């Protein structure tokens, strides 16, 4: 089998015992420690086709790796075949047409840098070492989303290798059902080997502001921060974090810095009406550096677990629940505002769900010692569960180990039915099931 696979692949095939095997099977979440039988490091689309056909011919589970940031580690199938797209990481920019062609193994930092070199950008997450593929197929929230829509909203076309080993181009005019499903339906429908993105003029200037409070004294300020978000310009994305006993209320501004200064001043004045912060930090960035700002915080080699929610409103009771931080080993919290261009796209236009979201909530823990696994995960589950009654869904990319119940939270019944129909057409045998899985409909 190994000889036959090597003969089909122009890239590299790794097996246990080979140099680079262990580093190649390691992903962002250090809790993931599975051993694929083969790791196929694809150098071109033909390698992906060959790998898919080989796996299906030999009954091997398939995982797809790009950035490897998925919290569950679906990219790493035990005793299966990992399709490693990282060698296919090129980004090419057509400045005149305002288009980017991005190979399936590219990271967000490569897209940001290439587009900004000609004064353009598209929505691309918040961490530069995230994979373009996983982010975009699930939706793709980022600091430009309130201005330009989600990452998936900016995809003009996809090149995809299906379960049958066929290479298709999906767009509004070609395989429109697949094009709809790929914009938010996750990696359920094949291996995307190229994304074509629409780009937008962006000056490359950014501003961040944080006003820090003790958790026990943040209630009124957080309510005021929420209210100020209602009238925020699209260049501003209101965000908050809670780490240990500190709440940071603030915003990220991408656009004209003079207008950003005015928005930060308005936020500072508004918060002062509630209570003055203990400290504040206002920083200026290039857009590319903004996109790298959280790279160290979200570094590889940590053990990780998280839980997520969508809130259609951040009511007083929700704020009180978020600030109730009794207990040990509690996860850090992030809140990020939606709205703007995200909400303006009709819900039925894409598989992505949650366009009526006001704020996305994520409770995330990271640690090094495996002996802490159950304690850390249990604390995150308990804390996030106190917010269950306020939630109206979840971002599919924020799902962890919820399984079928999580997928049902991420999509409406109508969208799940439609996604299952598309799945039946393009992957009737559920070859691509190492994901937040959508099963094929019965027909």
Cβ atoms within 10 A of the Cβ of 298, count?
Answer: 17
Eight-class DSSP state of 440? P
Considering the domain boundaries, does residue 21 fall inside one? Answer: yes
**What is the arrangement of strands in the sheet containing 167-171, beginning at the earlier edge strand?**
91-94, 99-103, 191-198, 155-161, 167-171
Q: On the CB side of 319, how many CA atoms lie within 13 Å of its CA?
A: 20
Domain end (from 27, 62, 84): 84
**Which of 128, 348, 143 minimizes the C-alpha distance to 236?**
143
Q: Are 141 and 360 in contact (CB under 8 A)?
A: yes
Query: Of all helices (H) and strands (E), which one includes residue 13?
Result: strand 12-14
Considering the domain boundaries, does residue 260 fall inside one? Answer: yes
Q: Are 119 and 202 in contact (CB under 8 A)?
A: yes
**Which of 23, 78, 77, 28 minimizes the C-alpha distance to 304?**
28
Q: Which position has the token pair 């796996």?
A: 55
Residues 11 and 230: their CA atoms lie apart, in Å, by: 51
pLDDT at 425: 97
CATH number at residue 250: 3.40.462.20
pLDDT at 34: 98
Q: Where are the beta strands (DSSP E) in 328-426?
A: 332-337, 359-367
pLDDT at 412: 95
CATH number at residue 110: 3.30.465.10
Considering the domain boundaries, does residue 438 fall inside one? Answer: no
Considering the domain boundaries, does residue 150 fall inside one? Answer: yes
Q: Indicate if 149 and 230 belong to the same structural domain.
A: no
Beta strands 81-84 and 62-65 are: parallel
pLDDT at 124: 97
CATH number at residue 63: 3.30.43.10
Q: Indicate if 176 and 58 belong to the same structural domain.
A: no
pLDDT at 442: 81
Q: Indicate if 250 and 344 belong to the same structural domain.
A: yes
Residues 60 and 146: their CA atoms lie apart, in Å, by: 41
**Which residue positions in the chain have pLDDT lower than 50?**
none
Considering the domain boundaries, does residue 133 fall inside one? Answer: yes
pLDDT at 391: 98
Domain end (from 84, 111, 133): 84
Read off the pLDDT of residues 86-118 as tens digits, 9 standing for 90 and up.
Answer: 999 999 999 999 999 999 999 999 999 999 999
For 437, counting Cβ atoms within 10 Å of its Cβ (0-12 exposed, 13-18 middle, 19+ buried), the class is middle
Domain count, the chain: 3
* Residue 440 CB contacts under 8 Å (≥ 6 apart), including other chains: 420, 423, 424, 427, 428, 429, 430
Q: Where are the alpha helices (DSSP H) in 45-159?
A: 45-57, 108-116, 132-138, 145-148
Q: Indicate if 69 and 213 belong to the same structural domain.
A: no
Q: Are 80 and 95 in contact (CB under 8 A)?
A: no
pLDDT at 2: 83
Q: On the CB side of 51, how many CA atoms lie within 13 Å of its CA?
A: 34
Q: Indicate if 210 and 196 belong to the same structural domain.
A: no
Considering the domain boundaries, does residue 253 fall inside one? Answer: yes
Considering the domain boundaries, does residue 410 fall inside one? Answer: no
Q: Indicate if 231 and 262 belong to the same structural domain.
A: yes
For 404, counting Cβ atoms within 10 Å of its Cβ (0-12 exposed, 13-18 middle, 19+ buried), the class is exposed
Query: Of all helices (H) and strands (E), which one includes residue 248?
Result: strand 246-254
Residues 292 and 121: their CA atoms lie apart, in Å, by: 15
Residues 24 and 370: their CA atoms lie apart, in Å, by: 21
Q: Indicate if 351 and 244 belong to the same structural domain.
A: yes
Structure tokens at 371: 């002996």
Q: Indicate if 342 and 267 belong to the same structural domain.
A: yes
Q: Which position has the token pair 């990452």?
A: 151
Q: Indicate if 335 and 300 belong to the same structural domain.
A: yes
For 44, the domain range is 2-84
Considering the domain boundaries, does residue 300 fall inside one? Answer: yes
Q: Indicate if 217 and 268 belong to the same structural domain.
A: yes
- 261-297 burial string, b = 16+ CB within 10 Å, else e? eebbeebbeebeebeebeebebeebebbebbbbbeee
Q: Indicate if 167 and 247 belong to the same structural domain.
A: no
Q: Indicate if 160 and 37 belong to the same structural domain.
A: no
């Amino acid at each position: 089998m190994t000889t036959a696979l090597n003969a089909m692949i122009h890239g590299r095939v790794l097996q246990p015992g080979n140099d680079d095997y262990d580093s190649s099977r390691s992903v962002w979440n250090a809790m993931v420690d599975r051993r694929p039988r083969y790791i196929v490091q694809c150098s071109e689309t033909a390698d992906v086709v060959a790998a898919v056909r080989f796996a299906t011919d030999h009954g091997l589970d398939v995982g797809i790796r790009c950035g490897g940031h998925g919290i569950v580690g679906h990219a790493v199938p035990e005793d299966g075949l990992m399709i490693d797209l990282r060698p296919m990481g090129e980004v090419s920019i057509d400045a005149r047409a305002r288009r980017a062609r991005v190979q399936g193994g590219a990271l967000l930092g490569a897209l940001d840098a290439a587009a900004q070199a000609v004064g353009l950008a598209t929505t691309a997450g918040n961490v530069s070492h995230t994979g373009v593929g996983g982010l975009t197929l699930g939706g793709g929230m980022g600091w430009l989303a309130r201005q330009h829509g989600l990452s998936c909203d900016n995809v003009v076309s996809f090149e995809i290798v299906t379960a049958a080993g066929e290479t298709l181009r999906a767009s509004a005019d070609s395989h429109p059902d697949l094009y709809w499903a790929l914009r938010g339906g996750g990696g359920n429908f094949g291996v995307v080997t190229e994304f074509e993105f629409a780009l937008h003029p962006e000056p490359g200037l950014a501003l961040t502001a944080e006003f820090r409070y003790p958790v026990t004294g943040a209630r009124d300020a957080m309510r005021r921060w929420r209210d100020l978000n209602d009238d925020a310009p699209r260049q501003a994305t209101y965000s908050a974090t809670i780490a240990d006993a500190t709440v940071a209320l603030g915003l990220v501004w991408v656009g004209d810095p003079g207008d950003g200064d005015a928005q930060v001043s308005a936020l500072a004045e508004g918060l002062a009406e509630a209570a003055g912060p203990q400290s504040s930090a206002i920083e200026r960035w290039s857009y590319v550096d903004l996109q790298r700002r959280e790279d160290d915080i979200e570094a590889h080699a940590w053990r990780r677990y998280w839980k997520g929610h969508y809130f259609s409103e951040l009511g007083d009771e929700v704020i009180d629940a978020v600030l109730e931080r009794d207990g040990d080993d509690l996860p850090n919290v992030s809140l990020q505002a939606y709205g703007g261009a995200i909400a303006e796209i009709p819900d039925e236009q894409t598989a992505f769900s949650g366009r009526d979201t006001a704020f996305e909530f994520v409770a995330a823990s990271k640690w090094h010692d495996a002996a802490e696994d159950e304690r850390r995960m249990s604390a995150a589950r308990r804390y996030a569960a106190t917010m269950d009654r306020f939630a109206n869904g979840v971002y599919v990319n924020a799902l962890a180990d919820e399984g079928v119940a999580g997928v049902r939270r991420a999509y409406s019944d109508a969208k799940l039915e439609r996604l299952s129909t598309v799945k039946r057409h393009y992957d009737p045998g559920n070859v691509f099931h190492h994901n937040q899985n959508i099963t094929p409909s019965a027909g």
